Amino acid sequence: MSHDNNAETAIRDASFGAEEFFQERDGSINIGREAVDRHVEDGHSEQVALLWLGKDGARRELTYGDLKDLSSRFGSVLHDNGLKQGDSVFVLMGRVPELYACALGTLRAGMVFTPLFSAFGPEPIRTRMEIGDANVLVTTASIYKRKVAAWRDQIPSLKLVLIVGDGDVPEGCVALGPALDTASPDFDPVKTKPEDPALIHFTSGTTGKPKGAVHVHNAVIYHAYSGKHALDLQPGSIYWCTADPGWVTGTSYGIIAPLVNRVTMIVDEAEFDLDRWYGTIQREKVEVWYSAPTAIRMMMRAGAEATEPYDFSSLRFLASVGEPLNPEAVVWSEKVFGQPFHDNWWQTETGGIMIANRPGMTVKPGSMGKPMPGINAGIVEREDGTLKELPDNEIGELALRPGWPSMMRAYLHEDARYQKCFVDGWYLSGDLAMRDADGYFWFVGRADDLIKTSGHLIGPFEVESALIEHEAVAEAGVIGIPDETAGEIVKAYVTLNPDYNASDELERAVRGHARKKLGPAVAPREIVFRKTLPKTRSGKIMRRLLKARELGLPEGDISTLETDET
Amino acid sequence: MTEEEIRTAYLEELSRVAPDIDPETVGDDDHIQDDLELDSMDVLNLVTALHERTGVDIPEKDYPQIATVALAVGYLKAKIK
């Protein structure tokens, strides 16, 4: 049997420092408590936990004591509205302090937290809320009106919509601010069990709907461990993770790992802005900085001279994640920041950093580093339904021996897809990689059709589905094409319905439609029209062939090709 | 280029990068990221398009200066030779 070795039965030989979390406990573990209350109990109530920088120049400090108060009040608001342990709370907003209070309050209340990227269009939001049976949505009035109001009534599970910010509260919604003010600040963390669901992060599939990866409260052990050993987070460190909590990095390492390790974390509401970023590092004396290749490449474009007015001497450790960091960027960062960016690798499913250039390790520019201590990674190849481990320097699929605390426990309502991830006691990542003789891993590409753009994984199916909703579009095939800044960008090949002719205006109309439905991060940046698309006998569009042609690569096995591209 | 020509060029390139935006509805002080929801790749594409259209080289540190129609018109006018 190839499927009996799943996460539940796999090896559990490493404790990842778990013992310190279970001191004087009763077998319960709650992320909200570990991130906040533990530090307050230890006398660190006055330490700044979150330093928030507003778009307009505002600066607000929240201490661990403040986070305890706010997250307790949020827990009370949920409780007062009849929500129960295990209920599902979705958050859809920019990086404002309330988001962090909601995340911690939801976990504290034993409910399940799902962050969504606020720049998603209505379509990805709705799909995810349907799959996740959302009971609560926390958002802003503006996002609610533009992206949610039209279909809110069609989500039967949704009981409560909380609105952040001043101004009008749309009909059927509740203002969060006044609710927090009147809620009780006394709300003890729920005694959740280690395997109780805590977080659901959505990730894209090649086919079908997005998958909700379920993570449990016990994951906090690995968040703490990896934050400390992969990112060098120490109590009191000034730390800045630039990722948005709408993606897994911004939650695992933008909320949980830093707070559990009692750092002071910077949260910048604004998007990438060169001088703002450099100024923030200098002014706030950032010590540990976790960012992404797209941003790093944008800094490189601006050149070393743009960094000259700034003092970066506070920086102690730099890390990058999302897609492979090119060697030039590693070398460049060492020159201008005095520290190289340390690339690391992990996925929504793994919940935490698996392979890393850790503090103190020699960085091999272009490599993702070595497996974290306690993590067993290999390069494998499928052979007759079983797996064969490949020797060094051979390209295969990157696989992990499951069993660490932050590994996903399920894809929500999709057990078959979940089981498919595990073969012969390995978790298959879907990434192609190789390991060199020194044990460093090197990313090669995706084993499937998923697109990695600006560090986000985009499923072509979700994009194609939105495109064919446009009246002019008959069929669509979506692929990722290389881009020097974003890694890959989304490109669509489209055939038109009769009565429609290809034109610049139509290209814009279709792209505009996709952006409205999906949001700019997911919609295609480029659309080309074709008379026909390459398809198999069963009518499946051969994305692989479109991509090979786009890149000028060999077309490989085309024996299943029935109709070709014209 | 006159201010009006720069404004027209800017709005045309903006709606090419982000065709979900109706240029008629864009206010002079609407921020391309905060109000019009462009992402950073959109901004990069807009900068490239404006460079090709006007010949003005816009370095990264000046991106905030093209973040609204009003700012961009002033900035580009001063830079166009």
pLDDT in tens, A362-412: 999 999 999 999 999 999 998 877 899 999 999 999 999 999 999 999 999
Q: Say which residues have a Cβ less than 8 Å from residue A460's Cβ, sequence separation at least 6.
A: A206, A449, A450, A451, A477, A478, A479, A543
* Helix, strand and coil percent figures for chain A, each rounded to 5: 30, 25, 45
Percent of chain B at pLDDT exceeding 90:
90
* Angstroms from B23 CA to nearest CA on chain A: 12
Every domain range in chain A assigned CATH 3.30.300.30:
451-563
Give the Cα separation of A252 and A263 in Å (integer).
14
> Which pLDDT score, from 0 to 100, does residue A564 have?
81
> So what's the ipTM on this one?
0.94
pLDDT of B73 above 80: yes
> Which pLDDT score, from 0 to 100, does residue A259 have?
98
Contacts of B63 in chain A (CB under 8 A): 273-274
Ranges of residues in chain A whose predicted pLDDT is under 70: 1-14, 22-25
CATH code of domain B3-79: 1.10.1200.10
> Which pLDDT score, from 0 to 100, does residue A405 have?
95
Q: Per DSSP, what are the bridge partners of residue A136?
A: A89, A160
Q: Which amino acid, one-letter code, is at A142?
A: S
Q: Are B25 and B67 in contact, with CB atoms under 8 Å apart?
A: no
Closest-CA residue of A relative to B37 is: A119
Structure tokens at A564: 């070709």
- With vertex at residue A290, the alpha carbon angle to CA A285 and CA A296, rounded to the nearest 5 degrees, is 95
Kindly write down the DSSP assignment for every residue of A494-509, as one continuous string: EEE-TT----HHHHHH
Superfamily per CATH, domain A1-16+376-447: Luciferase; Domain 3 (2.30.38.10)
* Angstroms from A333 CA to nearest CA on chain B: 17
* Angstroms from B81 CA to nearest CA on chain A: 23
Contacts of B61 in chain A (CB under 8 A): 274-275, 302, 306
Q: Are A198 and A89 in contact, with CB atoms under 8 Å apart?
A: no
Every domain range in chain A assigned CATH 2.30.38.10:
1-16+376-447
Q: Are A344 and A353 in contact, with CB atoms under 8 Å apart?
A: yes
Residues 12-71 of B with CB under 8 A from A: 15-16, 18-21, 33-34, 37-42, 44-45, 59-61, 63-64
Give start and end residues of each alpha helix (H) in A338-457: 415-419
> Which pLDDT score, from 0 to 100, does residue A2 have?
35
Domain boundaries defined on chain B: 3-79
Closest-CA residue of B relative to A118 is: B37
Q: Are A257 and A231 in contact, with CB atoms under 8 Å apart?
A: yes
Three-class secondary structure assignment of A138-203: EEEHHHHHHHHHHHHHHCCCCCEEEEECCCCCCCCCEEHHHHHHHCCCCCCCCCCCCCCEEEEEEE
> Which pLDDT score, from 0 to 100, does residue A10 have?
36
Burial of A158 (0-12, 13-18, 19+ CB in 10 A): buried
Confidence of residue B34 (pLDDT cuts 50, 70, 90): confident
The enclosing H or E element of A213 equals strand A211-216
* Angstroms from B2 CA to nearest CA on chain A: 26
Dihedral-angle region of residue A519 (phi above 0 means left; psi in -120 to 50 means alpha; beta otherwise): left
Q: Are A478 and A467 in contact, with CB atoms under 8 Å apart?
A: yes
Structure tokens at A515: 């952006």
Classified by CATH at the fold level, domain A451-563 comes out as GMP Synthetase; Chain A, domain 3 (3.30.300)
Q: Are A238 and A264 in contact, with CB atoms under 8 Å apart?
A: yes
From the list B18, B34, B60, the residue facing A274 with the nearest CB is: B60
Beta-carbon separation of A508 and B15 below 8 A: yes
Q: Say which residues have a Cβ less than 8 Å from residue A56's Cβ, sequence separation at least 6.
A: none
Q: Are A329 and A300 in contact, with CB atoms under 8 Å apart?
A: yes
